[in-house]
Structure 1
Amino acid sequence: MKANNDIQKWKVLNEEDVSPSPWFPLLRHTVEIAEGQVIDDYYFSPLGDVVQVLALTPSHEVILVRQYKHGLGEILLELPGGMQQKGKSLIQSALNELEEEAGIKAHENQLISLGMIANNPTKTRQITYGYLLFNAEINSVQKFDVTENIEVLTMPAPQVLQYVKEGKIWVTDSMNFILKAALQYPEIFGL
């Protein structure tokens, strides 16, 4: 595949915060794109980064959370995680979310990076960072946010992979981190 060296970043001429609420930040950019064309109403959301943890028990069961997600109006099965917390590193946020949602306390040196995913780089400035935790144990108390009501489930890793194949786990970042972990650790996921 030949690289196209003519592709250039857009030039931001103006930025206006038009956020309807702190729950959903929204920016309006005036940008100059290729050949000097100006677009004065390019909207996108700088939602902030997200962390997720694929936690595996000593018997290689994946810890999942089941909760209502209002944007889709659905009860979904996914990996524990959430927004990067103000003043916290990505890893600190991942550890906090894991304890808050799943009741699992772990340490920074236990997390293994699964990389990062951009769900919609056209309309959001949000990256999801994934981590893997081996030998996870439910050893703490869940501490839900006001909008959370979470059920914690454990499931053998091969069954989790099957749930992805069948569309029972269909949240993008959870699916991708499960698949990435299965590629890196095929024996755990029955491949």
Structure 2
Amino acid sequence: MSGVAHRYEVTARREVWSGRIFSVVSDDVTMPGGGSAARDYVRHVGAVAVVALDDAGQVVLVRQYRHPVGRHLWELPAGLMDVGGEDLATAAARELAEEADLTAGRIDVLVDMHTSPGFSDEVIRVFLARDLAEVPAGQRHDRRDEEADMQVVRVDLDEAVRMVLAGEITNAACVAGLFAAARARDGGFAELRDPRAPLPR
């Protein structure tokens, strides 16, 4: 193994396309063998997701239509990091309330993930929410667009893990979050991180 890693430097950047959630850029990057190469990728605002675990050992799953894959997927309550100045734990609590009508007395960091680092810089922080309570009926979020037909269920955590292994759950954040939650539970929740832990950007 080489003792010194090559420093990949961006010598030029071009924005190919820009939208509200992500943009597409093309970077010229120096290569270890000399010269540079173009690397096209998606720059994403990032997201948070929540494994909401109740006192009965059940987790909250939502079933939502995802147009790029043309079907409904089982997912965790989740949303974008798109509110300026909002810390990630607050964003997670907001999404939990909006998508599952729940509040949490305790939120910890469960796992961080780069979803598709071959073509995107998107990072998702998955939180573990416990001590759950219902949002009062008069204060619940009005769900629109794809969220209007969202199905919200509670499933035993071990059953949710079985669904992953059976190919019934394929959303990356949901897969990672459920496996991490099962491992955390089996370890007595001793390895959870503080909700203010730095995000790997």
TM over 0.5: yes
Please list every run of at least 4 consecutive aligned residues from structure 1 whose deviation after the TM superposition is greater than 6 angstroms: none
CA distance in 1, matches of 2:35, 2:129: 48
CA distance in 2, matches of 1:180, 1:65: 18
Cα pair distance change 1:61/1:34, threshold 3 Å: same
Q: How many residues align?
A: 183
| % same residue | 22
Cα pair distance change 1:152/1:60, threshold 3 Å: same
1:59 corresponds to 2:45: no
Residue by residue, what CA displacement relative to the aligned partner does 1:111-168 show, whole Å, maximum 9, x if unpaired?
A: 0111201111121111110111113233242343544332111111221111112111
Give the match for residue 16 of structure 2: 18
In proportion to residue count, which structure has more strand?
A: 2
Give the match for residue 26 of structure 2: 28
**Cα pair 1:69 1:75 within 8 Å, conserved:** yes
2:173 alignment partner AA: D
CA distance in 2, matches of 1:45, 1:142: 30
Give the match for residue 96 of structure 2: 98
The secondary structure found in structure 2 opposite 1:10 is: coil
Give the match for residue 116 of structure 2: 120
RMSD: 2.0
CA distance in 1, matches of 2:2, 2:141: 49
Give the match for residue 138 of structure 1: 134
Give the match for residue 181 of structure 1: 181
1:125 alignment partner AA: D
Cα pair distance change 1:11/1:145, threshold 3 Å: farther
**Cα pair 2:13 2:28 within 8 Å, conserved:** yes
Per mean C-alpha deviation after superposition, the further-off stretch among 5-14 and 48-57 is 5-14
